[in-house]
Structures are given as structure tokens and as C-alpha cells.
Amino acid sequence: MRRLLCLGAIAGAGLAAAGCSQITVTSDTLVNGTARIADATTNAVQQTSDATTNASRNAFAQNHDARRKFVHSQYAMLKSEAARGRGEDLDALAYMMREQDKQAFADTVQAHYQTLFSGKPSADAFLSRLYGVVGTPSDMSTVVQADTLAAS
């Protein structure tokens, strides 16, 4: 038991030094007055892992490639919802575009319906039109700057 406690303390110190979640010993992690370091360490690692995974998912969902795949698969629904000025797919696209006000985004897309949906544009062409109407998302600013510099 003493060896397990020492190992747990060493693992906890290593995680703390690595910048992971704080390990907190509470009444839930105490048994007969002895800290269950392994349980506390497992909980801290799980919380850190969850936070990292969520941040990665958000970053992936809000980039050009993810938007292109989404538009390609949901184009018909986006077109229908844009005509109405509301809908779940339009809200999802607003999120992917890093827009804070989903309704303002939907209103702008509806107001520019003809520009955005004329013909049957590819996903990339649609997104170029969308960027022209609502602005280029922050994740694309480095790409746009690089293209501008290359053209100069």
C-alpha cells in the first residue's frame, strides 16, 4: 500500500509539472483517512483529456476543409434553409464560420440568396461567395494574406 501511495504521488507530481489538471484530494478520494491518489490522478487525466479533445474538435469544425465537406454534403438543406432564413444546418454553418450571431448570419445569407446559390456551385465556389458576403473567417486570414503576398 505504501508503495502504491508513493507511485501515485510521483505520478501526480509529474502530471502537475506537465501542466495537467490539478489533482484535488476530497472526501471522495479518501478511504480510511488514506488518499486514493490513483483515483484522483485518473480523474485529473480524464478531465485534461476531455478538454484537449473538445478543443481539437472545435478547431477542426471551424476550418475551411470542414466547411467544404459540410457544404458539399448539406448543400440542398442549406439552400432550403437560406430561403427561409433559419434552420439547423444554417446554424451549424454559422458556427463553422465562427459567427457569434446565428440569426444575423442567417439573415445575411437570406438577403444574398441569389448571389450565393445561383447555378450549382461547387462547395469551394459557394464558400468563396459566402466569404465575399459575410467576410472571411479568422482561420482563413493567413491563407488570404499569403495569396495576396504571392500575387504581389
Residues 116 and 51 in one domain: no
Element (H, E) at 31: strand 30-31
Q: pLDDT (tens digit, 9 = 90+) per residue, 96-135?
A: 999 999 999 999 999 999 999 999 899 999 999 999 999 9
Q: Confidence band (pLDDT; 50, 70, 90) for 139?
A: confident
Residues 56 and 67 in one domain: no
AA identity, residue 131: Y
CA separation, residue 10 to residues 27, 42, 43 (Å): 21, 13, 16
What share of the chain has pLDDT > 70, as a percent?
52
Structure-model confidence comparison of residues 108 and 33, the more confident one: 108
Indicate the average pLDDT of the chain.
72
35 assigned to some structural domain: yes
Structure-model confidence comparison of residues 33 and 87, the more confident one: 87
Domain boundaries, position 116: 63-137
Structure-model confidence comparison of residues 18 and 94, the more confident one: 94
User: How many distinct structural domains can be found in the chain?
Assistant: 2
Name the burial class of residue 149, with classes exposed (0-12), middle (13-18) and buried (19+) by CB atoms within 10 angstroms of its CB.
Answer: exposed
Cβ-defined contacts of 79-88 (< 8 Å, 24+): 79/117, 81/106, 82/106, 82/109, 82/110, 82/113, 82/116, 82/117, 83/110, 83/113, 84/110, 85/109, 85/110
